Amino acid sequence: MDNKWDLLETTDADRERIYAKSRTFAQDVWFRFRKKPTAIAGFIIILILLIFAGIGPAFTSYNYNDQNLAMSNIPPILKVFVSPDQKSYLYITQSLKIININLDGTLNTQLSKVREEAEKKMTIFDYNGTEVALYYGTNPYLIVDEPTGDIYEKKTIWNKSYILGTDSLGRDILTRLMYGTRVSMTVAFIAAFVNMIVGIIYGGISGYMGSKVDTIMMRIVDIISTIPLTLYVILVMVILGSGLQSIVIALGSVYWVNMARVVRGQVLSLKEQEFVVVAKTLGSSTSTILFKHLIPNAMGSILVTVTMLIPSAIFMEAFLGYIGIGLQPPLASLGTMCNEATAALRTSPHTLLAPALVICIIMFAFNFVGDGLRDALDPKLKK
């Protein structure tokens, strides 16, 4: 070629050739899904939470119901005093006790009380034969040398025994958070699965049958939708009582209406397509056409709706636990943890911060994944 800028000669075969690498539907969805940083971040967060809730309790030395009243309401960050021999730290509890803490941040035992000196606003404790005084005449409280009144050196350390602190009964918040996340995620996934199955069957039959059947079935959906879903779930819980099974039944009996509407809309738009007409001509049964041809082609919208149902179910479970009709103590869920934390919110805000933060993270993560799936499965956005 004398001139490198000459136009290339193209043939009809070149024009028909596909130069881009072909991808399957799943590969195409994944390709577009991973282009959304928020969706990938949400997906990774969900995986981390599942690992945290699934295998996390195996790596902790506590149980969700292990109580230690001597260690109640201990925060994750401790403001301590250096002991007289400088071999440990001393921490003042909310009940005006002193806990001996090792230099590595692990909690040891309570110091034994020697006497009370109310006129001096002091409580005297024994530390390895040395008397130390807890002075409660100021806020914050102080630990002083009993004979001289000198204030011991202050420090701030991390609680190595209870990384997220303890609740009002001395239970490890991190361990309860693992079990609570497991319970909440289990309830959400089971409820979402039940809603998906009921919604697919109900909405599929309604959309495919059409006519009077569709009208009657959708009027039933409209009647259910007029009742506030939260009120309906509360009424079901009051009738069935507290428990994991009751929560699943309550959530599964309500949230399927949105799924039914989505499936009905998809079936109505697909049932007049050529492949459905061919299936009818070949004598395929109604169930075969519905579940082999129509529902698989509507799975994109179904998956997006299910993804959006999960955070709604988690929030509802947490709400039921918070108002006291969810899982009952000592079982742990995110809602019951929030409920128990409100009693000591002013003095121990860390007990509410952890479960509330996990609920927020779960809600954001699933919504990000749902948005990513919606964009990835929408053919209109394909470039």
99 DSSP assignment: E
* Averaged pLDDT for residues 14-40: 75
Closest CA to 368 of 32, 50, 51, 44: 44
Out of 10-14, 135-139, 257-261, which region has the weakest mean confidence (pLDDT)?
A: 10-14
DSSP state of 76: S
The predicted model gives 80-107 an average pLDDT of 90
Assigned token pair, 258? 């949105």
Q: List the domain boundaries for the chain.
A: 43-54+170-381, 77-158
| Closest C-alpha to 91, from 216, 82, 259 | 82
Strands of 77-82's sheet in order across: 107-110, 98-101, 89-92, 77-82, 154-158
How much is the pLDDT for 18? 56
Helix boundaries (H) for the chain: 12-16, 25-33, 37-54, 173-209, 211-226, 229-240, 244-252, 256-270, 274-281, 286-288, 295-297, 299-322, 334-341, 350-377
Find the mean pLDDT for residues 202-209.
Answer: 90
Whether the per-residue pLDDT at 163 is higher than 80: the answer is: yes
Banded pLDDT at 107 (limits 50, 70, 90): very high
Q: Is the overall model pTM greater than 0.85, yes or no?
A: no
What are 291's two structure tokens?
A: 């579940």
Residues ≥6 apart with Cβ < 8 Å to 2: none
- 27-52 mean pLDDT: 89
CATH class of 43-54+170-381: mainly alpha
The torsion angles phi and psi of 272, rounded to 5 degrees, stand at: -95, 5
Mean pLDDT confidence for 244-250: 82
Band of pLDDT at residue 325, cut at 50, 70 and 90: confident
pLDDT at 172: 92
Counting beta carbons within 10 angstroms of the beta carbon of residue 119, is it exposed (0 to 12), middle (13 to 18) or buried (19 or more)? exposed
- Specify whether the CB–CB gap between 132 and 153 falls below 8 A: no
- In percent, the amount of the chain with pLDDT more than 70 equals 92
Least confident range from 12-26, 260-274, 340-354: namely 12-26
